[in-house]
Amino acid sequence: MSLDHRLSEEHEELRRTVEEFAHDVVAPKIGDYYERHEFPYEIVAEMGRMGLFGLPFPEEYGGMGGDYLALGIALEELARVDSSVAITLEAGVSLGAMPVFRFGTEEQKREWLPKLCSGEMLGAFGLTEPGAGSDAGGTRTTAVRDGDHWVINGSKCFITNSGTDITGLVTVTAVTGRKPDGRPLISSIIVPSGTPGFTVAAPYSKVGWNASDTRELSFDDVRVPVGNLLGEEGRGYAQFLRILDEGRVAIAALATGLAQGCVDESVKYAKERHAFGSPISTYQAIQFKIADMETKAHMARIGWRDAASRLVLGEPFKKEAAIAKLYSSTVAVDNAREATQVHGGYGFMNEYPVARMWRDSKILEIGEGTSEVQRMLIARELGLPA
- Which are the catalytic amino acids? 368
List b or e across 7-37, with b for residues whose CB sees 16 or more CB atoms inside 10 angstroms.
Answer: beeebeebbebbbebbeebbeeebbebbeee
Residue 153, H or E segment: strand 149-160
Apex 198 CA angle, 192 and 203, nearest 5: 100
Task: Give, in order, the Cα–Cα distances in Å from 70 to each of 34, 76, 308, 364, 365.
Answer: 26, 10, 9, 20, 23
Beta strand pairing status for 149-160 and 142-146? Answer: antiparallel
**Cβ of 196: how many Cβ atoms within 10 Å?**
9
**Burial of 382: CB neighbours in 10 Å, binned 0-12, 13-18, 19+:** exposed
Q: Are 254 and 86 in contact (CB under 8 A)?
A: yes
Whole-angstrom distance, CA of residue 130 vs CA of residue 115: 30
Residue 57, H or E segment: none
SS3 state of residue 179: coil
* Alpha helices by DSSP H, 273-352: 284-312, 318-343
Contacts of 20 (CB under 8 A, 6+ apart): none
Choose among 168, 61, 53, 63: nearest CA to 121: 168
CA 189 to chain centre: 21
Q: Are 118 and 48 in contact (CB under 8 A)?
A: yes
Q: Is the dihedral of CA 279, 282, 287, 289 positive or negative?
A: negative
